[in-house]
Amino acid sequence: MSPSAVSNSACLISLSRIGRLSLLPQLFGEVLIPPAVAHETNLHADWLRVQSPRNESLLRLLRAVVDAGEAEAIALASETKHLLIIDDRKGRLWAQRVGVPVIGTIGVIVRAKRAGYLESVRTALEELQSVGFYLTPHLMNEALRLVGEATFE
């Protein structure tokens, strides 16, 4: 299976902390990460492939506005035409400005539930919160609503 996603660090780190990193290869097959993300995460898996972006002018622009890992991930996703997994709001906005489709960690969790790889989005979100992942009540409720786990009081 060819890669269909590029990942920034946050999702990799967050899913690793809750023992759910395997959701990524289940959903996307091989996942590309740029060298800066490989360095930030220090994760090694047979489904993670390090690839350097080549568009130096785009990299220079992005490095001026987001951190190195985000800049490389956005540039790599732009070059490969893959979905970008990124949580940082500023990074997401810049990715969208250069035409890169984005999904965040919560989107990955929702997609995993819909694909049958996850039993409970609520449990996964609570696990993420327990390891310091910031999640607004609105975003949590929206994720639960999307998968039919919302409770109405």
Q: What's the length of the chain?
A: 153
Could you identify the residue written with the tokens 């993670």?
A: 48
Q: 80 near 20, Cβ under 8 Å?
A: no
In angstroms, rounded to a whole number, what is the distance separating the alpha carbons of residues 52 and 129?
Answer: 32
pTM here is: 0.93
- Pull the structure tokens for residue 1: 């299976």
Domains along the chain with CATH numbers:
5-105 (3.40.50.1010)
Q: Is the pLDDT of residue 51 over 90?
A: yes
**What span, in angstroms and rounded, lies between the C-alpha atoms of 2 and 7?**
15
pLDDT bucket at 151, cuts 50 / 70 / 90: confident
Is residue 153 scored above 90 in pLDDT?
no
User: DSSP string covering 68-101, please?
Assistant: HHHHHHHHHHHHHT-EEE---HHHHHHHHHTT--
* pLDDT score of 114: 95
